[in-house]
Amino acid sequence: MKTEIINANEKCSFCKEVVVSPKVIFCSNCGYPENGTDKERTRFFAKRTIEKHERIDARKQIKSARNTLYTLCGIMLVFGVIIFFGNNSVLELGIHLFFSFLYLTLAFWSEKKPFEALLIALLLYVTLLVIGFIDNPRSIFSGIIWKVIIISFLGKGMYSAFIFRQNIQEKTNTSNND
């Protein structure tokens, strides 16, 4: 049985994967410029740092949008209870509880599929605003600042989730093409 001995210089300095040929400039696994210039190495580390900060920022935006969904869940619950005790309307309480449960479900789902969950949440919120406007046109102006804040948090989180998902797909496509 023949064993193959791998020299330490035949491994990538960055990811420690075996380099196919010592003449290869870039590691096929991580893209590190093993035999590249100092400028290429600097560019490699700068790009990785920028990507890391972008991922951190995207996660913060997604988390902020998720917290907005939890807040919407609580708001729907509280208003449902207030309306129930004010009007004794079981139907309105049921509607508020239903939407509260939807926002809670979307918040939990945003852990796994943030773009899809936040898109549905944004569409649901805007739909509820439109229905409220149709029922009472003056309702669009009451709490307008809160409505804009909620839409902006959901929109920024959705956009960050979209960009984050695109970056992951590009990396997957790039590594599959190598």
Give the C-alpha separation, 117 to 50, whole Å: 27
- In this prediction, residue 29 carries a pLDDT of 74
Please state the φ and ψ torsions of residue 110, each to the nearest 5 degrees. -65, -15
Query: Average pLDDT over the chain, rounded to whole?
Result: 82
Rounded to whole angstroms, what are the CA distances from 145 to 86, 124, 134, 141, 142?
25, 18, 19, 9, 8
What band does 77 get if pLDDT is binned at 50, 70 and 90?
Answer: very high
What band does 98 get if pLDDT is binned at 50, 70 and 90?
Answer: very high
Classify 2 as helix, strand or coil.
coil
Model confidence, pTM: 0.68
- In this prediction, residue 4 carries a pLDDT of 43
Q: Check: CB of residue 61 under 8 Å from CB of residue 157.
A: yes
